[in-house]
Every structure is written in structure tokens, then in C-alpha cells.
């Protein structure tokens, strides 16, 4: 059932259009399959040429992402993989095209969001995660950037970016330092074995942010965030949680648990009363509670800002290399002409320091 890597020239079978996203090692472009006129998203992942290089990803790491996507194929909440190409420089994943943008971006454009609506989004995410976990696959990079909407006017969620995903087996322990500080579980910070429950911690963090607009562990520096995570140092500050139901808090509390064996599983969380009310009262409690949209909008605005800072940092680094100066000017021009920040100002922003420039 596995999809073969095609060595045919990608461009002979697909028309390639604009960039629709990028990551550390990948650029994503809209494309159209010539034979069917269907649209897809082509994710170009740069292959590492020399083992000692930091540019690109080793082929076996790319193969892991392909393998995971193949195993999970045809689940409505998980991005589906149509074809794979290898053009020597890149592995190109031809993925189902998602047009609705980030769920969090969509939500921040609304005036109100009840907990009933918020929990319906969580319900979908959990269905996807439950499917992954039933195949012993952990996503390991669940965060708002990787939760997209299929289209703007339909509330259908798609989970993307399986670049860090792993098959979790008893036979082999996976330890790795990865992910984004804000969303990583204590076992990651402590370099302990990763497991399916690692995803459930991230879902706890996502839910906390969704209902309150504040981030439970985020500190002024990455180290401070890590300290907060390992100490499970979070509270339901009344300033942000005055409108939050006890059901929602209970849901979060059962996920932000240090002991991975005591953390709620994906299957258990699907039947938690915040997701699946057991009585009329619980249904009402969820319907009457509102998420903290004012604070959520400012959380989103801060995320957008951090993202622009990342682009600027990248440009600053590039411009240090004389060879790339002209390219960097172009990048600055096209992406962030309005922002002029020096890198030392940027450095005080904490987590932003860890940007790498592999793919430009
Ligand atoms: P990161 O470095 O953040 O882990 P990555 O290099 O693994 O990223 P992805 O996260 O898979 O790359 O993709 C980068 C961006 O491209 C995404 O944030 C998203 O905006 C966009 N994107 C990815 N896949 C799709 C898709 N199927 N449809 C539409 N946009 C997509």
C-alpha cells in the first residue's frame, strides 16, 4: 500500500504556483496536477547533502515523515499524502491542499466564541490524535501553527506537519529534545522517553490558550518556560479565567499532569464531559461559558509579531554573509518592509534566538 517515491520530474506532471508556507527545512507551494486539474500543496523538503552539514534533513528523517503520513492516510482530520517525488535536491510531498489558514487566526477574527464551539474544535483535534495514537504514532509537534482549517467557511480541521512524528513502540525508546518550548511536556525537557501522552500535554496547553488567551507556562526566556513546565507551574488566574467553566478547567487539569501514566489519554478525553456532556446541566454550563476573546486576540497579535521578528532575524543573519546580501534585501523587501529592528533588540524577546537559516 506504500506510495513509491517517483523520480519522474515533478514539473512534468504538476504546474507549480505561489508559495503558501515555509518551515525550517521546507517550502510549500500550491500546485495543480496536469492530468486531473486537481490542486495540491507541494512540500519541498531539502535533503541534507553532507552528513556534517546543517542544511537540509537527512533522508531517513524525511522518510519517517513519509512513512507516518502513509500509515495515517485517509483520516478526515489528518492531512493526506497524494504522491512523493525525489528530485535529487528535495523530496517533494504532494499533500492535500488546505485553504482555511490557521484555526487560531480564524478564531481571532470572531467577536465571540462559546466554550461549546471551542470544545467542538477540540473534539475534532482529538479524533485526529486518537486515530494517530491507535496506530502508535505520536505527532510530537502539536501547536496552533499545525492546526489548520480546510476552508474558511467550513469548520473542518486538518492536522499538518508530521515532521517530528514518531512511531512509539515498547521495543525502542525515543528521547529527543524538540518541539516549541511553550507546548513541550516535562518528559521532553527532562530528556525522558517520549510517548503518546506527550501529545496530550500539548492539547492541554492549546485548550488553556483557547479558553483564556493566555499561555500557561510561557516565560520571558526559553529556560524560564522550561522551568515552569517541569514544575507544572500554572494557575487559573481569575483575571483570564473569570468566564471559564469548571468543566473546561477540569479538562485542562487532567491533561497538564506530570506523570505520563496519570495524564488523560486521547480516548479518555473524547468522553470527558467538556467534550461529551453527560447531562443537560453540563451542556448548559458549556453553552453559557464564553472564551476570553479580548485576551485571545492579543495573544494572536503577539504571535503574529513574533513571527515577523523571526523573519527579520533571519534577514539580519543572512545579510552578514556578503554573498547573500542581495537575496536578503529581497526577502526583507517582500516580507517585512515596515519593520526595522536591530538583532540585539530581537534577542531580548527570548525564544526567538533559536532561529536557523537552513532553507534560504
Ligand atoms: P516547521 O519548521 O514549522 O516544523 P515544516 O518545515 O515541517 O515546518 P510544515 O509545517 O509542514 O513545514 O509547512 C510549513 C507551512 O506551510 C505550514 O505552517 C502551513 O502554513 C503551510 N502548509 C503546510 N502544509 C500545507 C497544506 N497541505 N496546505 C496548505 N498549507 C500548508
Condensed to tens digits (0 to 9), the pLDDT of residues 307-341 reads 777 666 666 665 555 455 555 545 544 444 333 33
CB-based contact 229:187 (threshold 8 Å): no
Determine the atom of ligand 1 nearest the C-alpha atom of 79: 27
Residues 345-359: tens digit of each pLDDT: 333 333 333 333 333
Determine the atom of ligand 1 nearest the C-alpha atom of 145: 18
Pocket test for ligand 1, best of 20, 92, 310 (most atoms within 8 A of CB): 20
Helix, strand, coil percent content, the chain, rounded in steps of 5: 45, 15, 40
The Cα–Cα gap between 336 and 178 comes to: 28
**Bigger pLDDT: 142 or 339?**
142
The strand order across the sheet containing 39-46 reads 5-6, 81-86, 90-96, 39-46, 26-33, 14-22
pLDDT > 70: what percent of the chain?
85
Cα(273) to centroid(ligand 1), Å: 33
Cα(241) to centroid(ligand 1), Å: 32
ipTM rounded to 2 decimals: 0.97
DSSP 202-260: HHHHHHHHHHHSS-SS--SSHHHHHHHHHTT-----HHHHTT--HHHHHHHHHHS-SST
The Cα–Cα gap between 293 and 115 comes to: 11
Residues 235-258: tens digit of each pLDDT: 999 999 999 999 999 999 999 999
CB-based contact 253:245 (threshold 8 Å): no
Determine the atom of ligand 1 nearest the C-alpha atom of 359: 6
CB-defined site of ligand 1, < 6 Å: 20-26, 28, 41, 43, 79, 95-98, 145, 160-161, 163
Cα(20) to centroid(ligand 1), Å: 8
Q: What burial class does residue 153 get, using C-beta atoms within 10 Å of its C-beta: 0-12 exposed, 13-18 middle, 19+ buried?
A: exposed
For the cut 70, the answer to whether the pLDDT of residue 109 exceeds it is yes
The Cα–Cα gap between 150 and 161 comes to: 14
Q: Is the pTM here over 0.90, yes or no? A: no
Q: Which residues are catalytic?
A: 141
Cα(29) to centroid(ligand 1), Å: 10
For the cut 90, the answer to whether the pLDDT of residue 26 exceeds it is yes
Amino acid at each position: 500500500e506504500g506510495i513509491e517515491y517517483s523520480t519522474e520530474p515533478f514539473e512534468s506532471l504538476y504546474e507549480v504556483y505561489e508559495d503558501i508556507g515555509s518551515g525550517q527545512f521546507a517550502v510549500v507551494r500550491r500546485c495543480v496536477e496536469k492530468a486531473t486539474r486537481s490542486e495540491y500543496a507541494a512540500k519541498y523538503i531539502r535533503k541534507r547533502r553532507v552528513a556534517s552539514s546543517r542544511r537540509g534533513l537527512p533522508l531517513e528523517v524525511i522518510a519517517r515523515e513519509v512513512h507516518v503520513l502513509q500509515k495515517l492516510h485517509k483520516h478526515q482530520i489528518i492531512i493526506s499524502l497524494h504522491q512523493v517525488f525525489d528530485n535529487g535536491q528535495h523530496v517533494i510531498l504532494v499533500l492535500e491542499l488546505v485553504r482555511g489558514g490557521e484555526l487560531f487566526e480564524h478564531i481571532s477574527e470572531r467577536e465571540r466564541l462559546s466554550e461549546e464551539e471551542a470544545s467542538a474544535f477540540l473534539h475534532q483535534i482529538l479524533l485526529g490524535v486518537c486515530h494517530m495514537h491507535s496506530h502508535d504514532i505520536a505527532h510530537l509537534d502539536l501547536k496552533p501553527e499545525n492546526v489548520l482549517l480546510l476552508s474558511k467557511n467550513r469548520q473542518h480541521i486538518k492536522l499538518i506537519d508530521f515532521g517530528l512524528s514518531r512511531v512509539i513502540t515498547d521495543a525502542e525508546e525515543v528521547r529527543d529534545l524538540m518541539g516549541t518550548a511553550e507546548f513541550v511536556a516535562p518528559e521532553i525537557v527532562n530528556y525522558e522517553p517520549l510517548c503518546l501522552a506527550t501529545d496530550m500535554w500539548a492539547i492541554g496547553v492549546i485548550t488553556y490558550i483557547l479558553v483564556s488567551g493566555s499561555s500557561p507556562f510561557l516565560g520571558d526566556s526559553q529556560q524560564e518556560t522550561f522551568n515552569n513546565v517541569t514544575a507544572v507551574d500554572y494557575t487559573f488566574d481569575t483575571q483570564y479565567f473569570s468566564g471559564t467553566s469548571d468543566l473546561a478547567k477540569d479538562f485542562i487539569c487532567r491533561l497538564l499532569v506530570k506523570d505520563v501514566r496519570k495524564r488523560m489519554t486521547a480516548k479518555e478525553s473524547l468522553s470527558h464531559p467538556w467534550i461529551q456532556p453527560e447531562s443537560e446541566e453540563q451542556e448548559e454550563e458549556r453553552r453559557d461559558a464564553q472564551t476570553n476573546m479580548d485576551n485571545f486576540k492579543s495573544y494572536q497579535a503577539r504571535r503574529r509579531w513574533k513571527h515577523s521578528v523571526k523573519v527579520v532575524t533571519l534577514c539580519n543573519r543572512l545579510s552578514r554573509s556578503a554573498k547573500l546580501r542581495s537575496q536578503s534585501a529581497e526577502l526583507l523587501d517582500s516580507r517585512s518592509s515596515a519593520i526595522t529592528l536591530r538583532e540585539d533588540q530581537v534577542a531580548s524577546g527570548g525564544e526567538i534566538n533559536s532561529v536557523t537559516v537552513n532553507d534560504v
